[in-house]
Structure 1
Amino acid sequence: MSSQPASGPSGRPAIRVDLPLRRQEWDLLVRLPRTVLVAACAGDKHVDAVAGVEAIAAGQRSRALLVRGVVAAIFAEQLTDNDIDATAAEPTTVLVDCGHAVRLLAERLGPDVALAYGEWLMDIAASVGRAAWAPGRIRLGGVEIQLAERRFVNGIALELARALYR
């Protein structure tokens, strides 16, 4: 399959990448980072969704060409929050999708690409809880992390480990 947005986030022509993926598999990879962000926010007014968007954009610096391509596709689509299905953003559904995506990438493109994509998803989920102190948060290395968010990030890590080390 050939996956290519018309232009990259900076307006430059996007790199054409031929991937061994079906359209619905590519769509999952493109949809999942935003769904992870929405699930990590989970309507909590103390989270920093802007940090999540910045974490998505940080994928442009990934060592994996696939992650950079997914970032380009995300910003080319310019989805809104209304485009994310609320049932798809349920944490348990998101974790299942994360595991499926990482297994798919490990099988088709190898464990390095799968690991880079999975770690990027974890960064997105972890980034949203770095807001001001509130009850139910812990402090790790100078960063405030909501306990529920930590469980969600750990869930993504568990799915990543299961997919890569089965």
Structure 2
Amino acid sequence: MPSKPASGPSGRPAVGVDLPLRRQEWDLLVRLPRSVLVAACAGDEDVDAVAGVAAIAAGQRSRALLVRGVVAAIFAEQLTDNDIEDIGPGVTAVLADCGYAVRLLAERLGPDIALAYGEWLMDIAASVGRTAWEAGRIRLGGVEIHLAERRFVNGIGRELAQALHR
């Protein structure tokens, strides 16, 4: 059953574009940015999760209508703090979901849409910077991050490259 971004009163998406996606595929695309944010934070209290939320919201400015639709759906859900704490498969599962989502989008909507979505996920992961200095950090976009965070961002990049055969 085709889907459209952003849920309407019937439970079906309600922006005017039909997408060749099943409901569970659309739900994965909407859930994945938050999962990436949670995995990037990795339970560390010295992170700027607000920057991650801002990176999710920045998807509203994407050239890809799909990314803008996903952002609208995310913010339409009105999640509570408890809901956000409950989201959180392990890093390996999140990377696998990233690869699956990008392959799905490349196959169904083309490589440009898949690339826009995958790069947005990388931006979300990279936006979460640690606040205290310690060894093993690098600077990415003016923000210091742990090498483990860099490996996570690079992991998403590898999934994106493999999915797009680059």
Identity %: 81
Q: Which amino acid aligns with 1:105?
A: L
Partner residue in 1 for 2:159: 159
Q: After TM superposition, which residue ranges in structure 1, 4 or more long, deviate above 6 angstroms?
A: none
Determine if contact 1:36/1:89 at 8 Å carries over to the other structure.
no
Structure 1 157/81 Cα, relative in aligned 2: closer, same or farther at 3 Å? Answer: farther
Structure 1 104/37 Cα, relative in aligned 2: closer, same or farther at 3 Å? Answer: same
The aligned runs of 1:58-137 (5 Å cut-off) are 58-83=58-83, 88-129=88-129, 131-137=131-137
Determine if contact 1:118/1:156 at 8 Å carries over to the other structure.
yes
Determine if contact 2:34/2:87 at 8 Å carries over to the other structure.
no
Q: CA deviation at 1:114?
A: 0.1
Q: CA deviation at 1:138?
A: 1.8
Ranges in structure 2 where 5+ consecutive residues have no aligned partner: none
Structure 1 87/52 Cα, relative in aligned 2: closer, same or farther at 3 Å? Answer: closer
Q: Which amino acid aligns with 1:21?
A: L
Determine if contact 2:38/2:87 at 8 Å carries over to the other structure.
no
Partner residue in 2 for 1:142: 142
Q: CA deviation at 1:64?
A: 0.3
Structure 1 15/130 Cα, relative in aligned 2: closer, same or farther at 3 Å? Answer: farther
CA RMSD of aligned residues (A): 2.1
Structure 2: how far apart are the matches of 1:16 and 1:5? 11
| Cα distance per residue 1:13-39 (max 9 Å; x no partner) | x63221000000000000000000000
Q: Which amino acid aligns with 1:42?
A: A
- Secondary structure (helix, strand or coil) at the match of 2:144 reads strand
Structure 2: how far apart are the matches of 1:63 and 1:87? 27
TM-score, structure 2 length as denominator? 0.88
Number of aligned pairs? Answer: 160
TM-score, structure 1 length as denominator? 0.88
Ranges in structure 1 where 5+ consecutive residues have no aligned partner: 8-13
Partner residue in 2 for 1:54: 54
Out of 63-72 and 15-24, give the one that drifted further.
15-24
| Cα distance per residue 1:47-104 (max 9 Å; x no partner) | 1100000000000000100000000000001223533586852100000000000000
Determine if contact 2:47/2:128 at 8 Å carries over to the other structure.
yes
Structure 1 84/46 Cα, relative in aligned 2: closer, same or farther at 3 Å? Answer: closer
Structure 1: how far apart are the matches of 2:16 and 2:104? 21
Out of 77-86 and 24-33, give the one that drifted further.
77-86
Out of 111-120 and 127-136, give the one that drifted further.
127-136
Q: CA deviation at 1:145?
A: 1.5
Structure 1 128/141 Cα, relative in aligned 2: closer, same or farther at 3 Å? Answer: closer
